[in-house]
A and B are shown apart, each in its own frame.
Chain A
Amino acid sequence: MSMRKKYFSLQLKRNIKLYPTILIVTVITMCVLALGVYLIVSETIGTEDNQKIRVGVVGNLEDTTLGVGIEAIKNIDSSRFTIEIREMSRKEAEKALLNGEIHGFMDIPDGFIEGVMRGDNYPATYVVKKGAMNFGSIITGEIADAVSDWVIKSQSSIYSMHSLARDHGITKGMGAKNRQLNMEYIGLVLSRDEIYNIETTGVADDLGIGAYYLCALIVLMLMFWGISCFSIFASKDMPLSKLLASRGIRPMHQVFCEFLSFGAITMITVAIFAAVFSIVLSNVNIVGIEEIGTPGVFDVIVFVLKMLIPVMMICSMHVFVYEAVPNSVGAVLLQFLISVGLGYLCGCFYPNYFFPESIQNMASYLPTGLGFSYLRKCLSDSDTTKELIIMCAYCIAFVTGSGFLRKYKVTGDSQ
């Protein structure tokens, strides 16, 4: 066996010996992160039954009839105890929807009321988050109730008018007119069989909020993994590198062997967590992650294989950080700051739509942004070629950079 292979296998053995400690730290980190994600997701989708449903209304609200109608719902109708109506622009409504401030919004097109008057079909559109489809079904029920109520009351008014006319002695031709009125009315109602549409909008890449934060959790886990694996890098010392260099194993090769062994245990960890997660998913109904369903063994294998490139990229980044910062405490601190900072910029804690577009664009090319985008696209079955290419480039750059840093340290610090 060549010395490089031996060095790789020894590094792997060393990492495995350190693995129990690493795993404990990782599980604690994961629990904290999962709790955070659970709180975010449950705040957004889990408490609808206990809270007022906040609905935005956008579109042409200048019409008096519509204004009166909205005011009536706000102040008079019994629904005011369960539904809170907010008037806003489409842009404000979209932001508020993503921000979780409203559960959905109703976009009323121009000429909606006139259309209703004329019997033309101008459908209003209800926009809800994909992860909040339950709200869509609530709205559907509300609309069905409203339409039923409308039909019943309109019919009552037709017959009341008939009764009033009869009381005032107007009877001639009333039966025919009454029948004609009813027929016209039925014609109007039937022509509005599609009085509303429901549109869904995902948080990103058409994913629901649960799937979005699952991807975020995976990326953050990989980022914090660098801190968990502190012990692997902490005891790394230069004498061994010097001895290896004197025996012809160049610093670049040393770093590559260390990177591969670190990547290997990371992949093992990803496989373990993927398997555990699939078992949990098949036994516990986790609301809000419809994109995953109940994964089987094949799905887990495919997932682990798909994770290879992002895992190697983030591992190479960890290797680079530990190589760049000679002080172990400083390196861990930097790892933490990088994990939190890049995670925040790339939308792992909170969707980054609220950042300026330039920051969003920059974030999408950062390692975390790429990893995050790749995972989201994997879940939504989109094309990931661009992300894979840039992640490979990052990986090569980090490993090469680490090799140069090691070379600098090995050849530059002994005196």
Chain B
Amino acid sequence: MEVRKIKKSYGRKQVLLDVSFKAQKGQCIGILGGNGSGKSTLLSILAGVQRCGGGEFLYEETNMLKNSSLRVKKVGYVPQSTPLLEELTAYDNLRLWYEKDDMKNELATGVLAMLGINEFLKIPVKKMSGGMKKRLSIGCAVAHRPEILLLDEPSAALDLLCKERIYNYMKDFKNLGGTVILATHDLQELPLCDELYILKNGVLTPYTFDGNIHRLAGSL
């Protein structure tokens, strides 16, 4: 897949200036940036939630910004906050995205089992921990077996065990040939990424992390 010259502005403020990058199947692309740098905007444009001022999102030579039916099939999107109905149980929320039989299989041996959703299937979302909600969100977002997964700060404010579960799922997703685009602040997530980019002042530039946190912080 290739992202080519994506532009976005809010009024006079240019948020994204010709953002471009490429990713192969099985790769994870990490996008780093400070608060308000435009990471979430970029992901929501690629997910088809927001419109951009120009550019292309190519998958097998097809621009998915123009072909929404292909984008809906191929792209999974996990927004920063949890996209769940708080009053309903995990089961009810999953029912929105899964057919009954598919959900049964996924809970037994598939992605939902891997994310450990069986443990809290009957609990209302409002009584869940942050980690449970995030795992459930990912479970909802990948119901249609996407080939590209857009994750917006997936492990923010989660405990280590929960992060571990999400990372394991991401590794598994990559191993099965999926492409992950990850917007993150979390240093723990950097080893998962095959390529890193920094988004600053609307410009996306490649970055190589050498373990020097101070240098990274200065770059953001």
Please report A residues at the B interface, Cβ cutoff 8 Å: 3, 6-7, 10-11, 13-14, 17-18, 235, 237-248, 410-412, 414-415
Contact = CB atoms under 8 A, between A and B. Distances in A.
Contact of A17 (B81, B88, B141): B88
B85 A246 contact: no
A6 B99 CA distance: 10
B86 interface: yes
Nearest to A410: B49
Interface stretch (B23-31, B67-75, B171-179): B67-75
B106 interface: no
Nearest to B93: A10
Contacts of B186: none
A241 B80 CA distance: 13
| A-B pairs with lowest CB-CB distance, top 3 | A243-B83, A239-B83, A246-B47
A245 B84 contact: no
Nearest to A247: B72
Nearest to B35: A415
A248 B75 CA distance: 11
Contacts of B15: 415
A245 B50 CA distance: 9
Interface string B4-42: 000000100001000000000000000000001010110
A415 B83 contact: no
23 contacts: A10-B92, A10-B95, A14-B88, A17-B88, A235-B87, A237-B83, A239-B79, A239-B82, A242-B83, A243-B78, A243-B140, A246-B75, A246-B77, A247-B97, A248-B68, A411-B51, A412-B10, A412-B50, A414-B41, A414-B49, A414-B79, A415-B15, A415-B36
B55 interface: no
Contacts of A415: 10, 15, 36, 38, 40-41
A11 B86 CA distance: 11
Interface of B: 10, 15, 36, 38, 40-41, 44, 47-51, 68-69, 72, 75, 77-88, 92-93, 95-97, 140-141, 144
Given A237-B81, A239-B79, A10 B48 contact: no
B68 to A, nearest CB: 6
Given A6-B95, A415-B10, A242 B88 contact: no
A242 B95 contact: no
A129 B78 CA distance: 65
A239 B51 contact: no
B92 A13 contact: yes
A112 to B, nearest CB: 72
Contact of A3 (B36, B81, B83, B96): B96
Contacts of B36: 415
Contacts of A248: 68-69, 72
B87 A243 contact: no
Given A235-B86, A237-B81, A415-B36, A246 B92 contact: no
B59 to A, nearest CB: 15
B144 to A, nearest CB: 7
A108 B81 CA distance: 76
A238 B141 contact: no
A10 B50 CA distance: 25
Contacts of B49: 242, 245-246, 410-411, 414
Contacts of B68: 248
B77 A242 contact: yes
B69 A242 contact: no
Contacts of A247: 72, 97, 144
A396 B15 CA distance: 36
A247 B144 CA distance: 9
Contacts of A414: 40-41, 44, 49-50, 79
B180 to A, nearest CB: 16
Nearest to B13: A415
Contacts of B38: 415
Contacts of A3: 96-97
A108 B78 CA distance: 81
A238 B79 CA distance: 10
